[in-house]
Amino acid sequence: MTDPSFKPMHVTVRREHCLGNGGLGRFWILPGSRDRAKQIAETYFHDFEVISSPRGHDGYIGKYDGPDGTVVDIGVISTGMGAPSVDIIATEMIKLGAKVL
């Protein structure tokens, strides 16, 4: 459902941030809280980059070392509170090319 002409209104993630994992796409975690997204990135990711959002939907992309030594491209982005907000963020991410949420 990637839409090449899509311009997101709520997230500052770009299409290239959704790439990774040998064509499978970056794996995304979607907590509600901006602070929780930051905590997840700081605790579990290495070599991460912050993608700030003026709307509070901050994203972090980086690498995660799996238990078997596999390095995984991973990201986390806050959705905000409530199902409508989750729907907006998930829809924008999918239109940008996110495959695994």
Sheet holding 71-77, edge to edge: 27-29, 71-77, 59-65, 46-51
With bands split at pLDDT 50, 70 and 90, how would you rate the model's confidence at 1?
A: low
pLDDT attached to residue 5: 86
Which of 75, 79, 71 minimizes the C-alpha distance to 61?
A: 75
Per-residue pLDDT reduced to its tens digit, 16-56: 999 999 999 999 999 999 999 999 999 999 999 999 999 98
Residue that the structure tokens 């930051």 belong to = 38
> pTM of the predicted model, to two decimals?
0.91
pLDDT attached to residue 87: 98
* Average pLDDT along the chain: 95
Q: 9 - beta bridge partners?
A: none
Which of 10, 8, 3, 2 minimizes the C-alpha distance to 58?
A: 10
* N- to C-terminal Cα separation, the chain: 14
| For the chain, domain boundaries | 20-96
- Mean pLDDT score, 76-86: 96
Residue that the structure tokens 């709307």 belong to = 55
